[in-house]
Amino acid sequence: MEIRLEKFCKSFGPVKVIEDLDLTIGDCEMIALLGPSGCGKTTTLYAVCGIHRVTSGRIWFGDKDVTALPPQEKNVGVVFQSFALYPHLSVYENIAFPLRIRKDSRADIERKVNEMAGVLHMEELLDRRPGQLSGGQQQRVALARALVRRPEVLLMDEPLANLDAGLRLEMRSEIRRIQRESGCTSILVTHDQVEAMSMCDRIALMNEGKIQQIGSPDDMYHRPENKFIAGFIGNPPISFADGKVEDGCFVTEGLRIELPDRIKGAAVSAGQNISVGVRPEYLRPDFATPIEGEITFIETQGREVLYDLTLAGGQVFRSIQSGEQVCGVGDRIRWGIDADSVFFFGEDGNRI
Amino acid sequence: MRGIRRFLPALFMLPASLSVTLFFVIPVFMTFVFSFTTMSSDTGILGSRYIVSEATIRTLKDGDLDAALVRQLDSRVFAVNEAGLAALRKSNLKPTVVKEIEEKLSGKVYASEKQLFAALKGLSNRPRSFKDRKMVSKAVVQTLKNREFTTPKEFRAGLASIGIEVTDDVFDVLLEVANTSWKWTTGNYSELMASDFTWKILANTAFYVVLTLFFNVGLALVLALVTFYMPSGQSKFFRAVWLIPRVSPSVIYIMLWRWLSFDGGFMSYILGFFGVQPENWLNEFPWTFVIMANGFVGASMGMIIFASAVVAIPADVLHAAEVDGAYPWQQVRRIILPLMAWPILFITTYQTLSLMTSFEYILLLTDGGPGFFTTEVWALNAYHTALSNYYGNLRYGFGATLAVVLVAVGIAMSLIYLRLFDFKKLVAEPQIEN
Ligand SMILES: Nc1ncnc2c1ncn2[C@@H]1O[C@H](COP(=O)(O)OP(=O)(O)OP(=O)(O)O)[C@@H](O)[C@H]1O
Ligand SMILES: [Mg+2]
């Protein structure tokens, strides 16, 4: 079932949180809603499941207008950011709650709850109360409660944030498997780009109540539409530097990059202010376009080493290289950039 | 410094422990003590008094004491002693007469007035007139009747003054009967068990407490939940209105109820439009009014507690219930009420105890009437027995017995409530991580 948000707006009193948001999620698709804290991700989820009334705009499930439909009348499973478990009920009863409300038979309830508990490794926790669970355990209960009734739409607000690395990897594929199996259309809110990229078909990047770009993880990473996206996606993050166009080159103090042909003539004129974005993996000793500066910071991450390179003009570029550390802080070095893989942005922030 | 710190907790607790002792433990203990006495406004609450009254004589006559001794106690003797002579000297009898009486009759005791008069006749300066003789008799007459003695020793001297000498055994019996002060007794409790009124009042109290409790806890819950689902501005106004009974003085609040219910009052007026004859509705339906007047006041208190408890439930928990398909009624039954178990327990316990022990609204509204004991509840009965009744004899001891029973029932009720709501389960267990 396709979910479609049309010109969705949401205000809390005078505060406009979401403005004219358009988003279509295809049948059985899983989309990640990615964005900085406070950008309106939870608000969007609440509108989709019907907890909040939308201020204006329409929401469609398939060809049914559900804008004014209360949450009780939609089959939507939600994993809340705060878990929102029922504190007075045991884990078993928490998971069984949607089924009990739906008046499933006892046998059905027992079978489904136990199945869910098995999938999420919670068999031995069923008798506990939420207050007796760790954060990660609570999160799994919330997940089980959302999934147990095979919802048509699954909304997850950072469902894996509290899990340890191993469990998180396992749950990622488990959620994805359940989602594929049941064919529910899902939105996954997350801060974690890796999670977004690895679990979802597409990513919608939000900022300040607006969708910045929707696309596949590859699109986002290699073809960001603007500076915000380029800056948000990628870890360690991309480095930016401001400069000018001179003789078909991007020029700033200590760095000169030849512009690609598609930009050279048409998109920019000499003297124009533009900026460059260089992902850390495209700055290495062996690339062609020279860059000179001083190493000001080094962070060893085990498999990789992270260097901060400060140019004469003060701009800082980051480089990530595998292998052992090749120089020390304070060393003056001359490395290279892969000019084909850098992004140029105009003054409005859009990629040229 | 260390030393001080060790006593600091005790020091902080001091005001609380002191006031608990002062205002609860000691009064309850004293009430318990008083419940084993016969104290009343007749006996007073101070030490012993021994009086041979008409009632004492009657009791002794019915007892198995020697009849002659009883007659003696009831009799008068005429003893010419210093006290009598002093009285005569002050009288307007001739001094010569008084002088001769002193010389010739001093120390003599006569069993009857006749004998005294005969002796007077034998004197040379004898009182001539009957009036004078009567004056002498009056001055020297000795009787035990209605004289007050504060110690057994005085009482014995009093007996001796009319010429009664008794063995210690008999004296003890006399002491016992003549003692009008309060006594130690377990009779209050047996009287309570035996009295038919006890059961009537007990039934009244149970009826009143249970119905008012349902009324005010139920109403408080309904109000709290209704105002919870209302827009916030309206709900604030609504709650404020419901607080008015609580903040108005009891007398004014009850005056309003009486004004509402009497035959020229608001209810009769309104019902008049529907052709109903004006009546004193309070007399027709006393319990309805007693329960409503108490219930509305109680409800406002419960409403505040419940309203804050509902608001304290995390919004997302209710959102989750909505998403899981629960409509408001199901949310209330499956989420809100279970999460409010504690405040409901608290209010129910509190209201039960306060309904059992407080009676001022009933006192002001019906004073236990109309008629005999119609709306008389236990606490009101204790008040009537001990502090204010029509008969004028205030039975402090019996009133204390009623109060002790009330305290005992109150403590028992609180324990039952704690059991009922499974106290241990309500106290959150520590979080276990693994
Ligand atoms: N009930 C509310 N009243 C007023 N403002 C609100 C309300 N709920 C959310 N907001 C505001 O709306 C904005 C978006 O909130 P939202 O919860 O959707 O953020 P989010 O993207 O989920 O952030 P996070 O990643 O931190 O959870 C925030 O600025 C927040 O302060
Ligand atoms: Mg959020």
What does the domain layout of chain B look like in residue ranges? Answer: 50-178, 189-426
Task: Decide if B100 contacts B125 (C-beta within 8 A).
Answer: yes
Buried b (16+ CB within 10 A) or exposed e, A246-257: eeebbebebbeb
Query: How many CB atoms lie under 10 A from the CB of residue A18?
Result: 24
Instruction: Please list, in sequence order, all residues whose beta carbon lies within 8 angstroms of the beta carbon of residue B424, skipping any fewer than 6 positions away.
Output: none
Where in chain A are the domains?
3-232, 239-345
Min mean pLDDT across A21-30, A106-115, A209-218, B113-122 is at B113-122
Question: What's the token pair of residue B377?
Answer: 């509840």
Cα of A279 to ligand 2 centre, how many Å?
28
CATH superfamily of A239-345: Nucleic acid-binding proteins (2.40.50.140)
Name the residue type at position B206: A
Binned at pLDDT 50, 70 and 90, residue B426 comes out as low
Binned at pLDDT 50, 70 and 90, residue B208 comes out as very high
Question: For residue B110, what are the β-bridge partners?
Answer: B78
Instruction: Return left, alpha or beta for B377; rule: phi > 0 is left, psi -120 to 50 is alpha, else beta.
Output: beta
Torsion over CA of B37, B43, B44 and B49, rounded to 10 degrees? -110
Binned at pLDDT 50, 70 and 90, residue A196 comes out as confident
**B10 vs B5: CA distance, rounded Å:** 10
Atom of ligand 1 nearest to the CA of A36: 25
**A40 vs A46: CA distance, rounded Å:** 10
Nearest CA in chain B to A131: B431
pLDDT tens, position by position, A120-142: 888 899 999 998 888 888 888 99
**B429 vs B434: CA distance, rounded Å:** 15
Q: What is the CATH number of domain A3-232?
A: 3.40.50.300
Binned at pLDDT 50, 70 and 90, residue B433 comes out as very low
Instruction: Please list, in sequence order, all residues whose beta carbon lies within 8 angstroms of the beta carbon of residue B67, skipping any fewer than 6 positions away.
Output: B61
> What pLDDT shows up at residue B424?
57
Question: Hey, are the CB atoms on A70 and B322 less than 8 Å from each other?
Answer: yes
Residue of B325, B341, B431 lying closest to A132 (CB–CB):
B431
Question: What's the token pair of residue A301?
Answer: 């991450």
User: B142: part of which helix (H) or strand (E)?
Assistant: strand B141-143
**B362 vs B374: CA distance, rounded Å:** 11
CATH topology of domain B189-426: MetI-like fold (1.10.3720)
Classify residue B124 by burial, with Cβ atoms within 10 Å: 0-12, 13-18, 19+. Answer: exposed
- pLDDT at residue B42 tops 80: no
Question: What's the token pair of residue A81?
Answer: 């950011």
Query: How many CB atoms lie under 10 A from the CB of residue A15?
Result: 7
- pLDDT at residue A116 tops 70: yes
**A188 vs A33: CA distance, rounded Å:** 6
Question: Hey, are the CB atoms on A84 and B433 less than 8 Å from each other?
Answer: no
In chain A, DSSP assigns E strands to: 3-12, 15-25, 30-34, 56-61, 64-65, 76-79, 153-157, 185-190, 202-207, 210-215, 239-246, 249-252, 255-258, 273-278, 283-284, 289-300, 304-310, 316-322, 332-337, 343-345
- pLDDT at residue B260 tops 70: yes
Min mean pLDDT across B149-163, B207-221, B370-384 is at B149-163
Binned at pLDDT 50, 70 and 90, residue B110 comes out as confident
- pLDDT at residue A94 tops 90: yes
Q: Do A3-232 and A239-345 agree at the fold level?
A: no
User: B343: part of which helix (H) or strand (E)?
Assistant: helix B341-357
> What pLDDT shows up at residue B422?
65
Q: Which of A232, A162, A153 is nearest to A197 (CA)?
A: A232
Nearest-Cα distance to chain B for A86, in Å, is: 6
Question: CB-hemisphere CA count at 13 Å for B253?
Answer: 22
**Of all protein residues, whose CA lies closest to atom 4 belonging to ligand 1?**
A12
> What pLDDT shows up at residue B227?
85
Over residues B187-212, mean pLDDT: 86
How large a percentage of chain B has pLDDT more than 90?
Answer: 6
> What pLDDT shows up at residue B273?
79
pLDDT tens, position by position, A230-272: 988 888 889 999 988 888 888 888 888 888 887 776 667 788 8
User: B210: part of which helix (H) or strand (E)?
Assistant: helix B196-228
How large a percentage of chain A has pLDDT more than 70?
Answer: 99
> What pLDDT shows up at residue B430?
45
- For B146-164, give the secondary structure using H, E and C: CCEECCHHHHHHHHHHCCC
**A334 vs A203: CA distance, rounded Å:** 37
> What pLDDT shows up at residue A307?
92
Nearest-Cα distance to chain B for A198, in Å, is: 27
Torsion over CA of A270, A225, A46 and A162, rounded to 10 degrees? -110
- pLDDT at residue B28 tops 50: yes
Query: How many CB atoms lie under 10 A from the CB of residue A302?
Result: 6
Question: What's the token pair of residue B224?
Answer: 């709290």
Nearest-Cα distance to chain A for B299, in Å, is: 26
Binned at pLDDT 50, 70 and 90, residue B431 comes out as very low
Average pLDDT, chain A: 89
pLDDT tens, position by position, A316-326: 999 999 888 88
pLDDT tens, position by position, A266-301: 667 788 889 999 999 999 988 888 898 899 999 998
| DSSP code string of A153-222 | EEEEESTTTTS-HHHHHHHHHHHHHHHHHHT-EEEEEES-HHHHHHH-SEEEEEETTEEEEEE-HHHHHH
Residue of A70, A78, A82 lying closest to B314 (CB–CB):
A82
> What pLDDT shows up at residue B427?
54
pLDDT tens, position by position, B61-74: 787 777 777 777 77
Task: Decide if A187 contacts A112 (C-beta within 8 A).
Answer: no
> What pLDDT shows up at residue B97?
80
Over residues B186-192, mean pLDDT: 81
Residue of B314, B324, B429 lying closest to A98 (CB–CB):
B324
Question: Hey, are the CB atoms on B429 and A132 less than 8 Å from each other?
Answer: yes
Going from the C-alpha of B413 to that of each of B199, B204, B214, the distances in angstroms are 19, 17, 16
User: B408: part of which helix (H) or strand (E)?
Assistant: helix B396-420
> What pLDDT shows up at residue B434?
39
Average pLDDT, chain B: 81
**A68 vs A52: CA distance, rounded Å:** 10
Query: How many CB atoms lie under 10 A from the CB of residue A21?
Result: 22
Q: Ligand 1 site: residues with CB under 6 angstroms?
A: A 12, 15, 17, 37-43, 81
Helical packing angle, B54-62 and B67-74, nearest 10°: 170
Min mean pLDDT across A203-217, B223-237, B333-347, B415-429 is at B415-429
Task: Decide if A229 contacts A220 (C-beta within 8 A).
Answer: yes
Min mean pLDDT across A143-157, B179-193, B282-296 is at B179-193
